[in-house]
Amino acid sequence: MIPKLFAFITIASSLTCPAEETVFPHKMPEKKPNFPLSAATERMFSYPAPRVQDNELFSHFKYTELKGFDYHGGDGTVSRRDPTRPIFANGKYYVWYTKRASPVPPIGSTHANEATDTIPSTDWDLCDIWYATSEDGFTWEEKGIAVPRPPKPVIGWRSVATPDILVWKGKYYLYYQAFNEPSGIKGDWCPTTASFADSPDGPWTPTKEQLIPFGKKGEWDQDAIHDPQPIVYKGKIYTYYKSAFNKWPDVRDKYAVAHGLAISDNPLGPFEKHHLNPVLNSGHETTYFPFKEGIAALAIKDGNEHSTMQYAPDGVNFEIACVVELTPTAAGPYTPDAFTDSGNGRGITWGLCHFINAGTSTTQHSILARFDCDLSLDWHDPAMKQTGVWHKPEVYFKQGLSRAQRERILSKPTKP
């Protein structure tokens, strides 16, 4: 009698109240299941899509060598690096970048005290800002200097480097680093300044002033404002920048980087730092673009969150959107809506980047290159969404042990 009653209750309750699932299903749920989940499974549903292939902020990066740039046989006397976003104007693409044309290759930041008026310390010492145009983004024609080093003591007299571009109310603004000593003397210390023009072909007028203030002594961005990258967002100019900190001159080996945000409603400032700075805790250069209602960022090389795409719906509070591989260095993405403030950013599909190790230790220089990707809401390129980037064994073996490491390992056998 009791078993019959029990069976009746079980059948009745299964009809009225279906058994709750508590095991993760085979078919990927679109929404977070409503039962206890591990931390990792919880996180699956905090990304733009639980499957990375469906994630609009995930992509492979494909690379193409550029045509049109001469590097003097790769002897280290000519270097091009840190490109801006390419922009489209007058029926063609324009890009600006740091160019070094020095009699000798750089001697390195640790020898900065030996740098002279003709001997550069780093690859971005003794540089000017040049520009090039292109019909297709693959073949470029170098047009000449956009912003030269000004005469001493004007800000940037030692080197002008690492520009980015802003188009605002029909005028053009270049923001860039302005060195007043060879990079490496105290650190990679420099302020950011600006030049403006009515046409992308110039002529450019320098403001001769610091654009974004350093932090006060003791604050993270007290010595350097690097990689300024402006976007028009919420009716204002949002300029993301990087600072290297926790470093020179007192401690030289505890380098850290983070990114800040400075906002203005005037392209020449005054800029006000966001009170939550830093807004990104990782990334050696700045690569930001409007995406949906917010801002997306690529963080590379430095920090716990390097090799990630990030997204902030408010342009300030970034969260990891996914991990990416073989990321473009110093990427300047072609971003048609960077300055349109559409409130519905469409993402990016290509841009220019640099490789800093084009030469050898005695011919050190950088080259520009093109990257392509699908970080766009309007494109769907499944080949860009595959997971896994496979390098030949040689690429891994190139990351070999040093002689000292090998000796250390062999001196302490790990066998029992």
Among 126, 147, 155, 161, binds ligand AAL (CB under 6 A): 161
| Interacting positions 112-141 with ligand AAL (CB under 6 A) | 124
Give the residue from 246, 244, 247 showing the smallest Cα distance to 260: 244
> What one-letter code names the amino acid at 206?
P
Beta bridge partners of 370: 64, 352
82 binds ligand AAL (CB under 6 A): yes
Q: Which is nearer to ligand AAL, 227 or 372 (CB)?
A: 227
Write down the least CB distance from residue 189 to ligand AAL, Å: 9
| Interacting positions 214-243 with ligand AAL (CB under 6 A) | 226-227, 242
Q: Which is nearer to ligand AAL, 124 or 371 (CB)?
A: 124
Residue in the structure block whose two tokens are 């080949």: 383
Query: Which contacts (CB < 8 Å, 24+ apart) does range 358-364 have?
Result: 358/71, 358/74, 359/74, 359/75, 359/76, 359/105, 362/76, 362/105, 363/74, 363/75, 363/76, 363/105, 364/76, 364/79, 364/105, 364/106, 364/123
**Position of minimal CB gap to ligand AAL:** 162
Q: Which is nearer to ligand AAL, 178 or 384 (CB)?
A: 178
For the chain, give the longest Cα–Cα distance.
102
Q: Which is nearer to ligand AAL, 95 or 322 (CB)?
A: 95
285 binds ligand AAL (CB under 6 A): yes
Write down the least CB distance from residue 366 to ligand AAL, Å: 9
Q: What is the Cα 357 distance to its own chain's centre?
A: 18
Q: How many residues bind ligand AAL (CB under 6 A)?
A: 12
Write down the least CB distance from residue 73 to ligand AAL, Å: 24
Write down the least CB distance from residue 390 to ligand AAL, Å: 27
Q: Which is nearer to ligand AAL, 281 or 340 (CB)?
A: 281
Q: Which is nearer to ligand AAL, 149 or 346 (CB)?
A: 149
Q: Which is nearer to ligand AAL, 134 or 159 (CB)?
A: 159
CA angle 86, 88, 94 (to 5 degrees): 50
Among 164, 188, 302, 374, binds ligand AAL (CB under 6 A): 188
CA angle 125, 128, 132 (to 5 degrees): 130
Q: Which is nearer to ligand AAL, 56 or 285 (CB)?
A: 285
Provide the b/e sequence for 324-345 (b: ≥16 CB within 10 Å): beebbbbbbbbbebbbebeeeb
Write down the least CB distance from residue 85 to ligand AAL, Å: 15
Q: Which is nearer to ligand AAL, 85 or 226 (CB)?
A: 226
330 binds ligand AAL (CB under 6 A): yes
Write down the least CB distance from residue 161 to ligand AAL, Å: 5
Write down the least CB distance from residue 180 to ligand AAL, Å: 13
Beta pairing, strands 205-206 & 226-233: unpaired
Write down the least CB distance from residue 145 to ligand AAL, Å: 18
306 binds ligand AAL (CB under 6 A): no
**How far is residue 265 from each of residues 77, 157, 268, 272, measured CA to CA in Å?**
40, 28, 9, 10
Binding site for ligand AAL (CB under 6 A): 82, 124, 161-162, 177, 188, 226-227, 242, 284-285, 330
